[in-house]
Structure 1
Amino acid sequence: MAQLEQFAHRVNTVDAVVARMRVLAATLPERDGVAVFNRVYLAVTEEFDRRLDTGEFPDAEAAITLDVRFAERYLRVAEEGRPPACWRPLLQFRRHPGVRPLQFALAGINAHIGHDLALAVVDTCRTLGCEPADLEDEFDRVGDLLVSMEERIREDLMPGPDLLQIADPLTHLLGSWSLERARDATWSAARALWALRGLPELAQEFGDGLDAAVGLAGRILLTPLRDRSGHTTA
């Protein structure tokens, strides 16, 4: 009975995460860069919830804990506006007319996967009293879900025929970033952070470097292309 109650509590926590994202979706302007990412992340989290219900995650407690710890890092940024370096480019450029929706979506994914996910793995290990290796299956399943969503995101947000004049530079810019590579790098970073947990100064230094590097990639992804009138922006 205690295990069932604990599971129900965690499922309700996933529901709470979804509810908070829906509030953001209802309050943020549609074209806002954070709103664009939030719609993507809400769809991913809802899909996670559906797959959880079908038993796709054998260790449900680990999967839910990782999902919630992961989401909480984004929600703190979106709700409180006090971002680490990796999120600052998206917040700074969120209303720039020369940045396309696909750029906003992938810049958010870059910040969240490249930085937040590594810290969420460490958070989850501390919560559950386990090692990163114990979470590898759940990490991979969540990562597979994100990869499957990325193709749909690109199809939904890529410019249509009426915007072909910017398709080539956008394709070139976004082709330099890969979710698969980001996920692999994040797993390595999570393992390194866990190994450094007994050396807080080194762990902080490593985490700060990761944050800055991911932020730089995000700034590149958000390079303004053209404004709505078709003119090149600065």
Structure 2
Amino acid sequence: MRAVILSGAGRTADPWHPYPETSAALADIVRAAGFEPEIADGPLEGLADLAGGAHLIVVNAGDPDGPMPEGADAPPPSPELEDRAADALDAALERGVGVLAVHSAASTLRELPAFGAALGARWIDGRSWHPPIGEARVRIVGDHEIADGLADFTVFDERYSGMPLSGVIEPIAEHVEDGIRHPLIWARELAPSRLVYSALGHDARAYESDEYRELLGRALAWLAEVPAATFF
């Protein structure tokens, strides 16, 4: 099963997230789940150049309208690139694909409304936020099969908060800050496609957690069961 990891680069890189590091960690987890991962630099570029199809798309990139790393420069995408990426994503979702979106994926691919609609939430500047990075308690919730039998765990990471939902989600995990519960990981059925979003994954330390890796492995197994096994 082919997996394409859309990794932050150019306009979707930023000063805070080490995308080469986290995409490599994700590739190891995806490979252990039975996929053959490929890393594409830039989410629009990866979608537009996707030939032969894929069973899984992993999104690990940042805000194209945010600051880039110091000294970096990248031109805005061409309308042709945006159109090709949009067509590829639409075709994938229509025919059946698994999507795993992590952390700052909530702020990427803003050029493609279909991605935000599939995700079910967006990072909104001035409204969304996160506590300081550190030891974070992850609470398993809901009755989704990914969560079945899992226990609460601790991970060193950021916990995205304050992202308003725009669709129905099946909660898998949450965190609590100042007595308020915030969705942290969820699943969505987008027949015939499936999506899992995790607000975790700031840097490689997140993926050093055995419990989090197990959760992601379960998510990938669920995503691999997308009814449409054909390529787009």
Q: Does TM, scored on the shorter chain, surpass 0.5?
A: no
- Bigger Rg over Cα: 1
Higher strand share: 2
Higher helix share: 1
Give TM-score, length-normalised by structure 1: 0.29
